A and B are shown apart, each in its own frame.
Chain A
Amino acid sequence: MAGAAALAAVVALSACGAKTDAGGTSDKAAQADVSGDTVKVGLLNSLSGTMAISEVTVRDSLKLAIEEINASGGVLGKKIKPISEDGASDWPTFAEKAQKLIKEDRVAATFGCWTSASRKAVKPVFEKNKSLLFYPVQYEGLEESPYIFYTGATTNQQIVPALDYLKSQGRKKIYLVGSDYVFPRTANKEIKAYAKANGMTVLGEDYAPLGSTEFSTIANKVKASKADAVFNTLNGDSNVAFFKEYKSAGLTAKTMPVVSVSIAEEEVKSIGSQYLAGQLTAWNYYQTTPGAANTKFVKAYKAKYGQDKPTSDPMEAAYTSVYLWKAMVEKAKSFDPEKVKAASDGITFDAPEGKVTVDGASQHIYKTARIGKIGSDGLIKQVWDSGKPIKPDPYLKGYDWASGLS
Chain B
Amino acid sequence: MTVILGQMFTGVSIGAVLLLIALGLSLTFGQMNVINMAHGEFIMAGAYTTYVLQKSIAGAGISLIVALPVAFLVSGALGALLEWLLIRRLYLRPLDTLLVTWGVSLMLQQLARDIFGAPNVQTRAPDLLTGNITVIGGDDPLTFANSRLFILGLAIAAVVALSLTLRLTPLGRRIRAVVQNRDLAEVSGISTGPVDRTAFFIGSGLAGVAGVALTLVGPIGPTMGTNVIIDAFLVIVVGGIGQLKGSVIVAFVLGVLQSVLEYSTTVSVAKVLVLVAIVAFLQWRPQGLYTLRTRSLV
Contacts and interface: CB of A to CB of B under 8 A. Distances in A.
B268 A209 contact: yes
A213 to B, nearest CB: 3
Contact of A248 (B14, B124, B148): B148
Nearest to B228: A213
A180 B122 CA distance: 23
Interface string A190-223: 0000000000000000111101111011101101
Interface string B159-187: 00000000000000000000000000000
Given A213-B218, A221-B263, A272-B122, A250 B132 contact: yes
Given A207-B267, A213-B227, A220-B6, A48 B118 contact: yes
Interface string A235-254: 00100110011011110000
Contacts of B146: 248
Interface residues on A, range: 20 to 34
B105 interface: no
A125 interface: no
A245 B125 CA distance: 12
User: Size range of the interface on B?
Assistant: 35 or more
Between B119, B130, B263, the greatest number of chain A beta carbons within 10 A of the residue's beta carbon is seen for B119
A209 B131 CA distance: 26
Nearest to B17: A214
B259 interface: yes
Given A52-B118, A213-B227, A206 B263 contact: no
B143 A250 contact: yes
A215 to B, nearest CB: 8
Interface in B4-35: 6-7, 10, 13-14, 17
Given A52-B119, A217-B263, A272-B124, A207 B268 contact: yes
Contact of B130 (A49, A52, A217, A248): A248
B7 A220 contact: yes
Interface in A230-276: 237, 240-241, 244-245, 247-250, 270-272, 274
Interface in A29-67: 48-49, 52-53
Contacts of A270: 119-122
Interface residues of chain A: helix, strand, loop or mixed (majority): helix
Chain B CB count within 10 A is highest, among A213, A270, A271, for A213
A358 B213 CA distance: 50
Interface in A72-113: none
Contacts of B96: none
Contacts of A221: 263
Q: Which of A180, A212, A218, A250 has the most CB of B within 10 A?
A: A250
A312 to B, nearest CB: 14
A53 B118 contact: yes
Contacts of A218: 262, 267
A244 B141 CA distance: 19
A224 interface: yes
Interface string B257-295: 011001100111001000000000000000000000000
Nearest to B132: A250
A180 B120 contact: no
B145 interface: yes
A14 B3 CA distance: 56
Given A209-B268, A220-B3, A241 B219 contact: yes
Nearest to B123: A272
B147 interface: yes
Nearest to B261: A217
Contacts of A209: 267-268, 271
B86 interface: no
A49 B221 CA distance: 12
B217 interface: yes
Contacts of A214: 14, 17, 217-218, 267
Nearest to B215: A244
A247 to B, nearest CB: 6
Contacts of A244: 125, 130, 147, 216-218
Contacts of A240: 120, 122, 218-219
Nearest to B10: A216
A352 B131 CA distance: 39
A216 B13 CA distance: 9
Interface string B96-124: 00000000000000000000001111101
A249 B3 CA distance: 12
Given A180-B268, A211-B227, A270-B122, 17 more contacts: A49-B118, A53-B118, A53-B119, A207-B268, A208-B267, A209-B268, A213-B218, A214-B17, A214-B217, A217-B262, A218-B262, A220-B10, A220-B263, A240-B122, A245-B217, A249-B132, A250-B141
Question: Which 9 A/B pairs are nearest by Cβ-Cβ distance?
Answer: A213-B218, A248-B145, A241-B218, A53-B119, A217-B262, A240-B219, A237-B219, A216-B10, A224-B3
